[in-house]
Chain A
């Protein structure tokens, strides 16, 4: 392959509210048995990118656990591999990653010691499938310095938390605003960039000399009139999960047959770490309608229009509606849960009532678990 991969997985986001207490956005569970970083990693693997660095900083425990072996994405090769870079104190530097560009700068040796001519940078909080080779071909054809993957959002979507992009008819980016107060276009940057490796090293070193640390602000926006920065529009499914509403919506999208077909049935596959869990078990009294159920679950109650992640236990006579139950949750008997996200490893007592009245309620309960 002609490129190496960098996945920016450092971020926390206040829009994730309580959900970010436990993990970085990239480690958020998606669609029953995936984590959001799986989509970037699988796309890299499927694009034959053999060497990938993951830059991580905020609460990486959950992410590190997920990436404990690289074999699931087929990166466990003699050539290349999966590298996880957390900030480290060196003789020159004792800072945390002060921004995305700084994160790359602190690991510049990873770029310098590679020989592939290009770099694909992707954020780890997108849900999509993309052949980066196509972006790279476009990048070469346009003789671009940087190519930014963009996506049009429907007019009802709020785009103010993204970088918005305005392109001319040749697709060169004319305007790039990071988190605008009032967006002028509905085209947003997906946080996926293709750039020549030497070009990137040069720009990152320049940034570091000027004590600038952010890739978007200090490279994309600052250089947009000097360098040829092009946009590559994707029409396929793309969602960013870095807010509670979008996270909820993205998970619920997987209840639609066309979305499941696109991600699970069509080539290429999405990979994830495999747990040794038994099949899901439905006992007498279980009623499940229009839901995704992951392996290791035991269902005794009613589940409707919900996504149930791995190893959840749903007690008798429960009613779960329009909710997301994350990994390893125990829900006691006669409990009502509606419009909620139940945080992983929660234990919900029997006979309780949770309902998100206006919007999604995040349920975090740390009760003692006496079971089995």
Chain B
């Protein structure tokens, strides 16, 4: 058997509840991003581009979309005779069967998987960030410092620092202390949730800490290693890294892709991002359409006007429809004469003719102002909106709605209409 120097464990079980209805049927890593991709494509592509060809993907929350997307790993060249991608869901055991109760607990429950490869190093990743990173460079840093654990960190502004786990390191990047979401941060190096462990260290720590409820890397395992004076190092990363945890940051990250030369460039030959894509024809742009500042996926049929938007694959936009500042995901159909302003419309939704959304004054969401804000209209996967409906800002719609569901054909700003469970 070919010895694997480093294998990756990709945590993809989280719900990502701050993405609202986008994650009601799928885990956050499976959410579509940038027209044709899904969030998990970024860490998976990073793995194969960094020469890491053995990846365990830990799933728990709504794994179906993730499973079908990953398959046997063909799009990322992760269909290997030895290694490749393995989906690792929680499983029943003799005694002590439990869900994955924390990030480190999930890894602990899959010690046997890692043991079967017996690597030198284990890379721990999370499946919910947008970035391009060469893990091999991080590994070189890890080896050069004779570290037992290396944590990838990123400089953030001091104001933001209190939202992150903060790492305090000396001039040689050796970690001296850390703080979880401190009020008065002593450093601006935020942990990115990317770790390289020596396999022996990881195994020993996980076994020692096994009984800790909700075993978590940041809260338990890293402090455990630190207490025992193991050499911990901080690897500073300065590229593009975006947490798309909230609807607004998700919307912003998508919009950044359509800048003339985006900071995060998908068009470089070097460091390609791979995704499972269907075999689709090119997109058709009709004689009456106008497109300005947009990216559009394969197989779409555009007859209307698209400004400043990210359009997925196989999307239909009808005649006379105007789409502005919006994200439209795969296979959604929008009828004629619609007006779409600052909306996130998930996959396979159907918007009938003359629907207008993102209209009127902003009002805080009555459902959850912490999730639905910044005036974004959110339409869940597979929703249907009948003709001539007018929809306000900060609104949410999910399910097959009918005219009768709307008061006078109008959904005011801040309102929500959830008809889940009817399909």
Other-chain residue from A31, A284, A290 in contact with B282 (beta carbon distance below 8 A): A31
CB-defined contacts of A289 to chain B, threshold 8 Å = 285-289
Q: Does B327 contact A (CB under 8 A)?
A: no
Q: Does A33 contact B (CB under 8 A)?
A: yes
Query: Which of B155-163, B212-220, B294-302, B406-414 lies on the face that meets chain A?
Result: B294-302
The answer on a CB contact under 8 Å between B292 and A272 is: no
Q: Does B415 contact A (CB under 8 A)?
A: no
For the complex formed, measure the closest distance between the CB of B74 and the CB atoms of chain A, giving whole angstroms.
Answer: 7
CB-defined contacts of A269 to chain B, threshold 8 Å = 279
CB-defined contacts of B171 to chain A, threshold 8 Å = none
Give complex CA distance A255, B288 in Å. 14
CB-defined contacts of B267 to chain A, threshold 8 Å = 278, 281, 296, 298, 372
Query: Which of B126-134, B140-148, B176-184, B268-276 lies on the face that meets chain A?
Result: B268-276
CB-defined contacts of B299 to chain A, threshold 8 Å = 264
For the complex formed, measure the closest distance between the CB of A317 and the CB atoms of chain B, giving whole angstroms.
Answer: 15
Interface residue SS majority, chain B: loop
Give complex CA distance A167, B380 in Å. 58
Other-chain residue from A255, A264, A270, A284 in contact with B260 (beta carbon distance below 8 A): A284
Assess A264 versus B281: contact at CB under 8 Å? Given A279-B34, A295-B298.
Answer: yes
Q: Does A366 contact B (CB under 8 A)?
A: no
Within 8 A of B (CB), among A280-327: 280-296, 298, 303, 307-309
For the complex formed, measure the closest distance between the CB of B310 and the CB atoms of chain A, giving whole angstroms.
Answer: 8
For the complex formed, measure the closest distance between the CB of B284 and the CB atoms of chain A, giving whole angstroms.
Answer: 6
Give complex CA distance A164, B44 in Å. 54
The answer on a CB contact under 8 Å between A260 and B284 is: yes
The answer on a CB contact under 8 Å between B279 and A279 is: no
Q: Does B201 contact A (CB under 8 A)?
A: no
CB-defined contacts of A271 to chain B, threshold 8 Å = 279
Q: Does A263 contact B (CB under 8 A)?
A: yes
Give complex CA distance A289, B285 in Å. 6
Q: Does A89 contact B (CB under 8 A)?
A: no
Give complex CA distance A296, B267 in Å. 7
Residue of A with least CB distance to B76 = A276
The answer on a CB contact under 8 Å between A288 and B282 is: no
Q: Does B293 contact A (CB under 8 A)?
A: yes
For the complex formed, measure the closest distance between the CB of B215 and the CB atoms of chain A, giving whole angstroms.
Answer: 37
CB-defined contacts of B348 to chain A, threshold 8 Å = none
A: number of interface residues (CB 8 Å): 41
Give complex CA distance A80, B289 in Å. 46
Within 8 A of A (CB), among B31-81: 34-36, 74-75
Q: Does A215 contact B (CB under 8 A)?
A: no
The answer on a CB contact under 8 Å between B282 and A279 is: no
The answer on a CB contact under 8 Å between A281 and B258 is: yes
CB-defined contacts of A227 to chain B, threshold 8 Å = none
Assess A295 versus B279: contact at CB under 8 Å? Given A264-B299, A372-B267.
Answer: no
CB-defined contacts of A286 to chain B, threshold 8 Å = 291-292
Other-chain residue from B273, B287, B292, B297 in contact with A290 (beta carbon distance below 8 A): B287
A-B residue pair count with CB separations less than 8 angstroms: 109
Interface residues on B, range: 35 or more
Q: Does A17 contact B (CB under 8 A)?
A: no
For the complex formed, measure the closest distance between the CB of B333 and the CB atoms of chain A, giving whole angstroms.
Answer: 12
Q: Does A231 contact B (CB under 8 A)?
A: no
Assess A282 versus B279: contact at CB under 8 Å? Given A290-B285, A295-B298, A372-B268.
Answer: no
Q: Does B280 contact A (CB under 8 A)?
A: yes
For the complex formed, measure the closest distance between the CB of A26 and the CB atoms of chain B, giving whole angstroms.
Answer: 18
Within 8 A of B (CB), among A249-275: 255, 260, 263-264, 269-272, 274
For the complex formed, measure the closest distance between the CB of B41 and the CB atoms of chain A, giving whole angstroms.
Answer: 10
Give complex CA distance A295, B37 in Å. 13
Assess A294 versus B293: contact at CB under 8 Å? Given A278-B267, A281-B267.
Answer: no
The answer on a CB contact under 8 Å between B295 and A292 is: no
CB-defined contacts of A298 to chain B, threshold 8 Å = 267
The answer on a CB contact under 8 Å between B274 and A276 is: yes
Q: Does A2 contact B (CB under 8 A)?
A: no
CB-defined contacts of A263 to chain B, threshold 8 Å = 281
Q: Does B208 contact A (CB under 8 A)?
A: no
Q: Does A162 contact B (CB under 8 A)?
A: no
Q: Does B266 contact A (CB under 8 A)?
A: yes
Give complex CA distance A307, B282 in Å. 9
The answer on a CB contact under 8 Å between A274 and B277 is: yes
Q: Does B230 contact A (CB under 8 A)?
A: no
Give complex CA distance A288, B294 in Å. 12
Assess A279 versus B296: contact at CB under 8 Å? Given A32-B281, A292-B283.
Answer: yes
Give complex CA distance A372, B383 in Å. 41
Q: Does A71 contact B (CB under 8 A)?
A: yes
Assess A279 versus B260: contact at CB under 8 Å? Given A72-B279, A293-B282, A372-B267.
Answer: no
For the complex formed, measure the closest distance between the CB of B46 and the CB atoms of chain A, giving whole angstroms.
Answer: 14
Give complex CA distance A255, B285 in Å. 9
Give complex CA distance A73, B337 in Å. 39
CB-defined contacts of B272 to chain A, threshold 8 Å = 276
For the complex formed, measure the closest distance between the CB of B146 and the CB atoms of chain A, giving whole angstroms.
Answer: 37
Residue of B with least CB distance to A72 = B279
Give complex CA distance A291, B298 in Å. 13
Give complex CA distance A286, B296 in Å. 13
Assess A293 versus B283: contact at CB under 8 Å? Given A71-B74, A276-B275.
Answer: yes
CB-defined contacts of B311 to chain A, threshold 8 Å = 279
Other-chain residue from B279, B289, B293, B297 in contact with A274 (beta carbon distance below 8 A): B279
The answer on a CB contact under 8 Å between A280 and B287 is: no
CB-defined contacts of B82 to chain A, threshold 8 Å = none
CB-defined contacts of A308 to chain B, threshold 8 Å = 282
Q: Does B290 contact A (CB under 8 A)?
A: yes
Other-chain residue from B74, B291, B295 in contact with A278 (beta carbon distance below 8 A): B295
Assess A278 versus B35: contact at CB under 8 Å? Given A286-B292, A294-B298.
Answer: yes
For the complex formed, measure the closest distance between the CB of A135 and the CB atoms of chain B, giving whole angstroms.
Answer: 25
Give complex CA distance A271, B277 in Å. 12
Other-chain residue from B35, B258, B280, B291 in contact with A288 (beta carbon distance below 8 A): B291
Chain A 213-251 interface mask (CB, 8 Å, partner B; 1/0): 000000000000000000000000000000000000000
Closest 7 CB pairs of A and B: A32-B282, A279-B35, A278-B266, A294-B282, A290-B287, A288-B285, A282-B291
Q: Which residues of B contact A (CB under 8 A)?
A: 34-36, 74-75, 258, 260, 266-268, 272-275, 277, 279-299, 306, 311-313
Give 19 pairs: A residue, B residue, CB < 8 Å, sorted on A: A31-B282, A33-B281, A33-B282, A34-B281, A274-B279, A278-B273, A279-B266, A279-B311, A280-B297, A281-B267, A287-B290, A288-B291, A289-B287, A292-B282, A293-B283, A293-B284, A295-B298, A296-B267, A303-B285
Given contact pairs A264-B281, A272-B279, A295-B36, enumerate 6 new A-B contacts (beta carbons under 8 Å).
A32-B281, A279-B36, A292-B282, A292-B283, A294-B298, A295-B298
Q: Which residues of A contact B (CB under 8 A)?
A: 31-34, 71-72, 255, 260, 263-264, 269-272, 274, 276, 278-296, 298, 303, 307-309, 372
